[in-house]
Structure 1
Amino acid sequence: MLDEGTAKKKTPINLTDLADRFGSDKGSTKHRYTELYHLLFHPYRGRKINFLEMGLLIGGPEQGNDADRETTDLPSIRMWLEYFPKAHIHGLDVSDFSWFDHDRFTFHRCDMDDRAAIAKSVAAMDAPDIVIDDASHASHHQQNAFLEIFPKLPSGGLYVIEDLRWQPDTYEVPGITKTAALLRSYIDTREFQHSDPAVAAEFNALIPEISACIVHPVKYQKKRRDQVAVIHKR
């Protein structure tokens, strides 16, 4: 039988439970990314960090819809605001989410095709401690964002890229090296290999800033192709 003190203890917050409550596909109903994220992010929970998520709601231009579509919810942003009670959450998307009002949330509208626009958006925020790229999933968009944002992270920062095994026909550039293959080349050879030598050179220039690059399969099933990457800032 539990004593009175034990009975009054609150159940620790669990990120997967929050994802399921708010309707995020990062939880148990689909990808199960939140199991990994809870492991990685829990030490940051009580800190005044800056958190950036790119790609805020499924169903944008990557699925053939207009960038000016009507948006009605921010499931993952609601989740992050509750999980990180002291963090300032930044959201970046090609569609408009400026209607969402919260004193710890700032929205940045940005087209990932435009590296200068990405750089401008990041310059308008304090350096993010954690970044999640869940935007269009187009390879060049992922690579544009990484090259502009990763150098801004402080030491110990985490940069996450989701859904590496899916790229949208609406955006994907023919012949481009997929981000999964780019990261795998670094994991295997300690050098980034890319079809565009200039892009390869930019990534290789960042190697001294990388302390770890880990790629996990979705749902932790080895038969799955590369799915989510975590890069740690030295």
Structure 2
Amino acid sequence: MTQPVGTEAPARGAGRNLNLTDLADRYGSDKGSRKHRYTELYHMLFHPYRQRKITFLEMGLLIGGPEQGMDKDRETADLPSIRMWLEYFPKAQIHGLDVSDFSWFSHERFSFHRCDMDDRAEIARVAAAMPSPDIVIDDASHASHHQQNAFLEIFPKLAPGGLYVIEDLRWQPESYEQEGITKTAALLRSFIDDRRFSHADSAIAAAFDALIPQISACIVHPVRYQKQRRDQVAVIHKR
């Protein structure tokens, strides 16, 4: 049987007990043990979803891009985390969103959406074009306003009981980060501490506050339990 373009045959012995960190390391994703170790948390959170027919969205599909000084029209030749998710979730429909072009990747369970996170209207268009996601991971530019644009447009579409994840809370790219905007980490911390969102822009604070009835829980996880590290992850659970 011929494998779809960009995929590999599952590892021998792969099945219900497949470990996500092992997959990340095999496919070269920075979410695994070689760098961030996010997959240690994700395996615990996502394992109950593994054999379900879920909709999964990841924003930001390959290291590099304008946030690291590369042209958005750069040539792309790999999708490590998407290949990882396709194997980890064998029944899921996987959606990918990025400012660069990954339309060359072909798989019957993968859909690509090209989108500029600076434009909330574009994000809203993408959200409207896909089913309600059960899991969302924001690993895009990491600019605070991009993270907040995405959350305001996509979290309302998240399925009840779904999980919304924001990676790398303590790293923002100088090329994109806007002066004076409240950092997403601080925005989420204000909700955790006070049950309301505090933001330098009162309109953004109000937009986030309007979503509070939909939020069941919000945690900020310091990976490796080192609070000063950049690799911190937020997980927001929808009611």
TM-score w.r.t. the length of structure 2 is 0.92
The answer to whether the Cα contact below 8 Å between 2:52 and 2:91 also exists between their aligned partners in 1 is yes
Look up the match of 2:59: 54
In 2, are the aligned partners of 1:213 and 1:232 still within 8 Å (CA)? yes
Q: CA deviation at 1:221?
A: 2.3
Show structure 2 runs of 5+ residues with no match.
1-12
SS of equivalent to 2:220 = strand
Preserved CA contact (<8 Å) 2:168 2:230: no
Pick one of 139, 159, 180 that aligns with 1:175.
Answer: 180
- Given the superposition, is the C-alpha separation of residues 11 and 144 from structure 1 closer, same or farther in structure 2, using an over 3 Å criterion? closer
Residue 168 to residue 225, structure 1, CA distance change in 2 (3 Å): closer
CA displacement, residues 65-101 of structure 1 (integer Å, 9 cap, x when unaligned):
1000000100000000000000000000000000000
CA contact (8 A) 2:167 2:231 kept: no
How big is the alpha-carbon RMSD for the aligned residues of Structure 1 and Structure 2?
1.5
In 1, the alpha carbon distance for the partners of 2:14 and 2:112 equals 36
- Structure 1 distance, partners of 2:196, 2:130, is 31
Verify the 8 A CA contact 1:33 1:219 in the aligned structure 2: no
Counterpart AA for 1:19:
A
| Counterpart Cα distance in 2 of 1:64 and 1:101 | 27
Verify the 8 A CA contact 2:93 2:110 in the aligned structure 1: yes
Alignment of 1:19-58 (within 5 A): 19-58=24-63
Which one-letter code corresponds to 1:118 in the other structure? I
Structure 1 gap ranges (5+): 1-7
Distance in 1, matches of 2:14 and 2:121, equals 49
Task: Give yes or no for the alignment of 1:121 onto 2:126.
Answer: yes
Tell me if 1:67 matches 2:84. Answer: no
SS of the counterpart of 1:80?
Answer: helix
Aligned equivalent of 2:235? 230
| Alpha-carbon distance change, 29 to 49 in structure 1, aligned in 2, over 3 angstroms | same
Q: CA deviation at 1:27?
A: 0.4
Rg comparison, structure with higher value: 1
Question: Does the Cα contact within 8 Å between 1:180 and 1:226 map onto a contact in 2?
Answer: no
Which position in structure 2 is the counterpart of 1:110? 115
Paired with 1:60 and 1:118, the residues of 2 have a C-alpha distance of 18
1:144 maps to which residue? 149
Offset at residue 57 of structure 1 (A): 0.2
Identify the residue that residue 7 of structure 2 maps to in structure 1. Answer: none
Identical residues among aligned pairs (%): 81
Q: TM-score, normalising length from structure 1? A: 0.94
The CA distance in 1 between the partners of 2:172 and 2:214, in whole Å, is 27
- Alignment partner, residue 104 of structure 2: 99
Q: CA deviation at 1:12?
A: 1.8
**Separation (CA, whole Å) in 2 of partners of 1:73 and 1:212:** 34
1:4 counterpart residue number: none
